[in-house]
Amino acid sequence: MPPIDRPEPAPSRGQALFRALLAALLLGLGLYILSGFLRALVWALVLAIALWPLFARARRRFPPGRHNVLWPAVFTALVAFVLLLPIALLAVEASREAHDLLAYAREAERNGIPVPDVVAHLPYGSAAVSAWWEAHLAHAGLAHELSERLNTASNRDLTRSLGAGLVHRVVLFGFCLLTLFFLFREGDTVIAQALRASHRLFGPRGERVARQMVASVHGTVDGLVLVGLGEGVLLGIVYALAGVPHPVLFGAITAVAAMIPFGAPLAFGLAAVLLLAGGAVVPAAIVVAAGFVVTFVADHFVRPVLIGGTTRLPFLWVLLGILGGVETFGLLGLFVGPAVMAALILLWRDFTGSPEERPALSA
């Protein structure tokens, strides 16, 4: 006669305590083992959350096959293409300018680098700047002196460490793309498991906090990435009309810089400096004026609506989350910071009992 399956008795208080300790120990050990890959994992998670609505729409329009490989591979390849495209453009631009740079380096070796004309028009300190430039940069043999200064063992070690760091980042990038592919492929299972786990651990509030953080990531992507790309396109047109050298490259740099608060002025300020160095004062003033107008409209009208409107999060806390996140986690903090702030604000509203301020979140 086969044995009768009996329900497992409820664990005692001591067993529950030891189970919790074992789970905490294993979790800490797992995080320690994956510590070198945590940023890549979080990046993959952020990208999957940001692109999931588009992925789900494409999957509904054209249902995948039994193995569910096509759409995850397509979206992962698109992410790789978008991320690698600026690097490819920089490499192509550098190869185009290599001949001119070599000719400029040979001229600097023979005659030094002459004092730019813009130095003579400085309102203050033009004599001091000209004297320093003449003493350090305007004499022949400059390139030879620089090569002797840089040809040291410490700089060779620095080059070696930079090469190792580059290889490490390439590996992390590949691991991020691999993780992103599996998140797309197994996304429905991961979402169901995450919601079930949050409900068991925290009750209904756990799911609300998770949805709030997801909505914050969507709002941050719209408010930072899409608005930054829009700023780059608009200012790229201004660069082309004002005669900025390599306007497409400067437009791409501006788009990336505009994703970081107060980063766009550095980009269009550099473009204006290049115009001033060539004696184009009026086009430089136009670039600066257009840059401030575009960034003012984006930062004070468009972004607050896109980011704060998604989660009803005050823009001050959005800004603090972005700046604090960048300070703590680097570029990844652009998305992690606002998500954490959104979760904290939601918990605060629940604690203070203000349901009329709770955001209405869609599934």
Is the CB of residue 276 less than 8 Å from the CB of residue 286? no
Give the 3-state secondary structure of residue 21. Answer: helix
Do residues 255 and 232 touch, judged by C-beta distance below 8 A? yes
What is residue 145's predicted lDDT score, i.e. its pLDDT?
A: 57
DSSP 224: I
- For residue 361, the SS3 value is coil
How many other CB atoms sit within 10 Å of the CB of residue 175?
Answer: 16
pLDDT for the residue 361: 40
Residue 269 is encoded by which pair of tokens?
Answer: 């300020």
| Separation between Cα atoms, residue 54 and residue 185, nearest integer Å | 14
DSSP sequence for 264-332 = HHHHHHHHHHHHHHTT-HHHHHHHHHHHHHHHHHIIIIIHIIIIIHHHT--HHHHHHHHHHHHHHHGGG
Residue 104 predicted with pLDDT over 70: no
- Which tens digits make up the pLDDT trace of 291-309? 999 998 888 778 777 776 6
Whole-number mean pLDDT of the chain? 78
For 34-40, the CB contacts below 8 A with 24+ separation are 37/172, 37/175, 39/172, 39/329, 39/332, 40/172, 40/173, 40/175, 40/176, 40/179
**Quick check: 189 pLDDT over 50?**
yes
Q: What are the residue ranges of helices labelled H in 187-226? A: 187-202, 204-220
In degrees and rounded to multiples of 5, residue 265 shows phi and psi of: -60, -30
> In which band, very low, low, confident or very high, does the pLDDT at 359 lie, cut at 50, 70 and 90?
very low
Cα(98)–Cα(66) distance, integer angstroms: 50
Output the pTM of the full model: 0.71
Q: What is the tens place of the pLDDT at every residue in 121-170?
A: 666 666 776 776 666 665 555 555 555 555 555 556 656 666 777 788 88
- DSSP single-letter state for residue 139: S
DSSP secondary structure, 70-94, as one string = HHHHHHHHHHHHHHHHHHHHHHHHH
In Å, how far are 12, 125, 193, 265 from 112, measured between CA atoms?
82, 22, 66, 31
Say if residues 211 and 361 touch (Cβ distance below 8 Å).
yes
Q: Which of 317, 354, 358 is nearest to 339 (CA)?
A: 317
DSSP category for residue 2: P
137 Ramachandran zone, left/alpha/beta (phi>0; psi -120 to 50): alpha
Q: pLDDT band at 363, cuts 50/70/90? A: very low
Structure tokens at 47: 């990208």
Q: Using one digit for the tens of pLDDT, what is the confidence trace for 214-240?
A: 888 888 887 788 888 889 999 999 999
